[in-house]
Amino acid sequence: MSVLKEFREFAVKGNVIDLAVGVIIGAAFGKIVDSLVADIIMPLVGIVFGKLDFSNLYIVLGTAPAGVTNNLADLKKAGVPVLAYGNFITIAVNFVILAFIIFMMVKQINKLRKTQEAAPAEAAPPEDIALLREIRDSLKRS
């Protein structure tokens, strides 16, 4: 029974919940970056490098059975060992873009923190100064 109680206390802690939220948001953000790379950046890179499609870059490591076309999807379906380095290039570009976006976000957050730390909060005057001001204001009213 104590293990169950410890697990409940662990799962309800703020850090675990924050981590779970971060993982969920990270997964959704990853899908956005995947779409950005696959649908926007890679076609532009393909135009620059002569309409190159990285997803179709591969090296066949075995022999294909008769009747199987020399297409990556067909070769994988037939169980032929294939080194699909084009997919790796796409994922590597995806990672670089994601890392750059996260770097820019952290840079902005650090900039905001420095701005908040640099802005001095109005400090309350010492107690004796405040008391003297009260006496002065009281004498002015009299």
117, 65: one domain = yes
* pTM higher than 0.75: no
pLDDT digits (tens, 9 = 90+) for 15-31: 777 888 889 988 888 88
Is residue 72 within 8 A of residue 82, CB to CB? The reply is yes
129, 105: one domain = yes
Is residue 93 within 8 A of residue 42, CB to CB? The reply is yes
Q: Which residues contact 45 (CB under 8 A, 6 or more apart)?
A: 52, 54, 93
pLDDT digits (tens, 9 = 90+) for 54-83: 777 889 888 888 888 888 888 888 888 999
**Domain carrying residue 33:** 1-40
132, 94: one domain = yes
Q: Is residue 136 part of a domain?
A: yes
